[in-house]
Amino acid sequence: MEQLLDITSWILMTLGGVFVFIGGLGALRMPDLYTRMHAAGITDSIAPILIVSGLILQAGLTLASVKLLAILVFLLLTGPTSSNALASAALLAGKRTEQAQPYVPESKE
Amino acid sequence: MTVIFGVFLLTLLLITGIAIVQTQNLFVSVMLSGMFSLLLAANFFLLDAADVALTEAAVGAGISTVLLLSALAITAKHEKAPSSNSNRVVALIVVTVTTLVLIYSTFDNPRFGDPNAAVHQHVGPWYMEKTAEAIDIPNVVTAVLGSFRGYDTLGEVFVVFTAGIGVLFLLGTPLGPFAPGNPYKSTDPKGLRHYLIPRVVGRMLIPFILLFGLYVQFHGEYGPGGGFQAGALIAAAIILYALLEGEDRALKVIPRGVLIGLIAGGALLYGTVGLFGIFLGSNFLDYSVLSSDTVHAQQMGLILIEAGVGITVTGVLLSIFHAFAARGKF
Amino acid sequence: MYYAVIFALIITMGLALARAIIGPSVYDRVLAVNMLGTKTVLLLAVFAFLLGRPDFLDLALTYALINFIGVLAVLEFFRNRAAKQPGEKS
């Protein structure tokens, strides 16, 4: 049982690490600001889920698991919000690309 | 293996430091100094210094960045070009000589973590034994900070208090929306509309940050924590509210009079606890006389002075933020 | 057993640092700092377990909350600068 828990948490954490690395590589190599935000923001949500689940399996039913759960909830709440705020600020400041054009509703008259 | 991670982090720290010095755009250096403080906190954590890492995380990454940005909003965007080349050459020589002297002086240091090092011999083991029998709390750092060397911490609280007073003397005149003849009347409500999601999420988080600040304050005796970190966290929560809702609403939550009361009140509380030692017949800052059971009295004294530290730090950080923000309409 | 994750996290912190140094616009740099922040939270949490001290998770929790405040402060700074541009000089 111990072995199974150890192996599962190792798999989860390594998978989380792989996603973290993919996100970092994406943020460095993507061609444009918004695509970089895409890479960083998406992997910032999946990686904590995997890594913190792996750690919770290691910690068992103690106070540390509650704290880890709190960390996970806060990361999942604030990560996408930061991405949204950043993208919205960049868009409002006028950083345009070919893919990100402002939405101009068709005029009715 | 931990050493390898430490070396990696230190290399990243070095690269960040060089990048901060290299760049001429001040905003970039502010962002990079936020990253510097993060890497430093991770490094402290690796060296098993959790209290220091917590303070670095709370103060360096959040509050320092906010204060530097509000200072940037009032001043220039680019660094001034250096006046002459000879100044830079002299500076480079001075820095190189100092670095070589420091490196030379580390040859005499004991090895890292050596139990026979001189710093671990004299008073360190005494503190570790005496804490268990005299104060009975698990966190020896708080015991040393608050009780065995409480006089030094009193000095630190007064340093923070003086810093607050200094900033208030220099920047304290309110140029905010309530001052007469101010061109900025109020924050434009249009801008906040596009930021609905951060507002909602931020307002949900503020009570948790406050609660966590209180947890860190009272938990300082059992784990990493204490007055300084808690003060920084509570100030960070109110600063978050000020960023989301506007600085004038944050001033309604905690008015300037209350802020001044907090700055002075914390230091006063600490000093009063010290004076109580004299009134009850013993030395200054001796907590053992506060109650009949000495261990209990020491713990009570620790809680009171940590509360004093937390109150002063909250008041000072918030006052500095309001002083900068009122100037530049941040 | 945690070594793989810690290596991935530290290497990604290096990549984020590279983006912060290279990034042509300021928003790239803010993105890099935000990414570094969340990776630091995970790094602190994994270190706490590596060093065998799970009661040091308070640091990771602190950092998760403070990182958000830093990013919002930067965005507020931009919003005010953009709002002041058409008016007088700062």
Contacts with C80 from chain A: Cβ below 8 Å: none
Q: How far apart are the C-alpha atoms of A94 and C79, rounded to whole Å?
A: 12
In a domain, C90, yes or no: no
How far CA A35 is from CA of A97, A98, B32, B207, C75, in Å, comes to 10, 12, 22, 34, 19
Residue of C53, C57, C58 for testing the chain A interface, max A β-carbons within 10 Å: C57
Integer angstrom CA distances of residue B160 from A107, B164, B284:
59, 6, 21
Task: Compute the average pLDDT of residues B73-89.
Answer: 72
Confidence class of residue B98 from pLDDT cuts 50, 70 and 90? very high
Interface residue of B8, B35, B39, B211 to substitute, partner C, most C CBs within 10 Å: B35
Q: What is the pLDDT of residue B191?
A: 43
Structure tokens at B97: 């000589």
pLDDT at B224 over 90: no
Checking if the pLDDT of B316 tops 90, the result is yes
Query: Which A residues 57-96 touch B at CB under 8 Å?
Result: 74, 77-78, 81-82, 84-85, 88, 92
Closest residue to B195, CB basis, from A74, A78, A88: A88
Q: Are B311 and B267 in contact (CB under 8 A)?
A: no
The per-residue pLDDT of chain B, averaged, comes to: 83
| pLDDT score of A51 | 92
Helices (H), B23-139: 26-46, 50-55, 64-74, 85-105, 124-130
pLDDT of A74 reads 92
Which pLDDT belongs to residue B11? 92
Cα Rg for chain C, rounded, in angstroms? 17
When pLDDT is averaged across residues B226-250 and rounded to a whole number, the result is 88
- Domain span including residue C11: 3-84
Residues 6+ apart with CB under 8 A from A46: A16, A19
Cβ contacts of B56 within 8 Å, gap of 6 or more = B37, B40, B41, B44
Residue B262 has pLDDT above 70, yes or no: yes
Q: Nearest CA to CA, how far is A108 from chain C (Å)?
A: 30
Q: How far does the CA of residue A107 sit from the closest CA of chain C (Å)?
A: 27
Q: What is the pLDDT of residue B194?
A: 58
- Within 8 A of B205 by CB-CB distance, chain A residues are 74, 77-78
Q: What is the mean pLDDT of residues B278-296?
A: 81
pLDDT at C51: 81
| Res C88: pLDDT | 35
Other CB atoms within 10 Å distance of the CB of residue B94: 10
Residues of A in contact with C79 (CB under 8 A): 89, 92
Nearest-angstrom CA–CA distance, B215 and B230: 8
In the predicted model, what is the mean pLDDT of residues B152-161?
A: 92
Q: Do the chains contact at B45 and C75, CB–CB below 8 Å? A: no
Put simply, the answer to whether A24 touches C15 (Cβ < 8 Å) is yes
Instruction: Output helix, strand, coil percentages for chain B, rounded to the nearest 5.
Output: 75, 0, 20
| Position C60 pLDDT exceeds 50 | yes
When pLDDT is cut at 50, 70 and 90, the band that residue B257 belongs to is confident
Cα of B208 to nearest chain A Cα, Å: 10
Nearest CA in chain B to A73: B205
Interface residue A50 vs chain C (CB under 8 A): no
Between B206 and B249, the more confident residue is: B206
Provide the residue type at B237 as one letter: A
For residues A65 and C54, give the distance between their C-alpha atoms in angstroms, rounded to a whole number: 9
Instruction: Tell me if C31 is assigned to some domain.
Output: yes
Tens of pLDDT, residues A31-67: 888 888 988 999 999 999 999 999 998 887 888 888 8
Cβ distance of A74 and B205 shorter than 8 Å: yes
Helices (H), chain A: 2-29, 33-59, 63-93
Residue of C nearest to B6 (CA): C10
State the average pLDDT over residues A58-83. 88
pTM comes to: 0.86
Cβ contacts of B196 within 8 Å, gap of 6 or more: none
CB pairs under 8 A between B and C: 153
pLDDT at residue A73, rounded to an integer: 92
**Chain B interface residues facing chain A, Cβ-Cβ under 8 Å?**
194-195, 197-198, 201-202, 204-205, 208
The predicted pLDDT at position A59 comes to 81
**What confidence tens digit (pLDDT) does each residue in B270-286 have?**
999 888 888 888 788 88
Cβ separation B58–C62 shorter than 8 A: yes
**Cβ separation of A77 and B205 shorter than 8 Å?**
yes
Nearest residue to B309 (alpha-carbon basis) of B165, B146, B135: B146
User: How many structural domains compose chain C?
Assistant: 1
Q: Do B223 and C55 touch (CB under 8 A)?
A: yes
The structural domains of chain B, with segments of one domain joined by +, span 139-330
C41 touching A (Cβ < 8 Å): yes
C77 shares contact with chain A (CB less than 8 Å): no
Q: Taking 70 as the threshold, does the pLDDT of residue A107 lie above it?
A: no
C5-50 pLDDT, tens per residue?
Answer: 888 999 999 999 999 888 788 888 889 989 998 998 999 899 888 8
Which of A69, A81, A86 has the most B C-beta neighbours within 10 Å, making it the best mutation to test the interface with B?
A81
The residue with tokens 């993507």 is A30
Dihedrals phi, psi of B78, to nearest 5 degrees: -120, 150
C30 vs A: CB within 8 A? yes
Give the minimum alpha-carbon distance from B105 to chain C in angstroms, rounded to a whole number: 30
Mean pLDDT on B29-57: 88
Residue A38 phi, psi (nearest 5): -60, -50
Taking 80 as the threshold, does the pLDDT of residue B83 lie above it? no
SS3 B28: helix
Cβ of B233: how many Cβ atoms within 10 Å?
31
C17 touches chain A (CB under 8 A): no
Please tell me the least confidently modeled range out of A23-27, B164-168, B174-178.
Answer: B174-178
Give this complex's ipTM. 0.86
Question: CA of B189, closest CA in chain A: separation in Å?
Answer: 15
For residues B91-118, average pLDDT: 86
CB within 8 A of B186, min separation 6: which ones?
A: B177, B246, B248
Torsion of CA C15, C20, C24, C27, to 10 degrees: 110
Across all residues in chain A, what is the average pLDDT? 86
Q: Mean pLDDT throughout B287-316?
A: 87
Per-residue confidence (pLDDT) for residue A98, from 0 to 100: 67
- Most C CBs within 10 Å: which of A10, A42, A78, as the mutation test of the C interface? A78
B119: pLDDT strictly greater than 60: yes
pLDDT exceeds 50 at position B190: no
Look at residue C49 and tell me if it is in a domain. Answer: yes
Q: Which DSSP string do the residues of B110-136 spell out, in sequence order? A: PPTT-TTSGGGTSSHHHHHHHIIIII-
- Residue type for B199, please? R
Q: Report the residue of A35, A75, A91 to disrupt the C interface, i.e. the one with the largest count of C CBs within 10 Å.
A: A75
Domain parsing of chain A, residue ranges: 2-93
Neighbours of A59 (CB within 10 A): 20
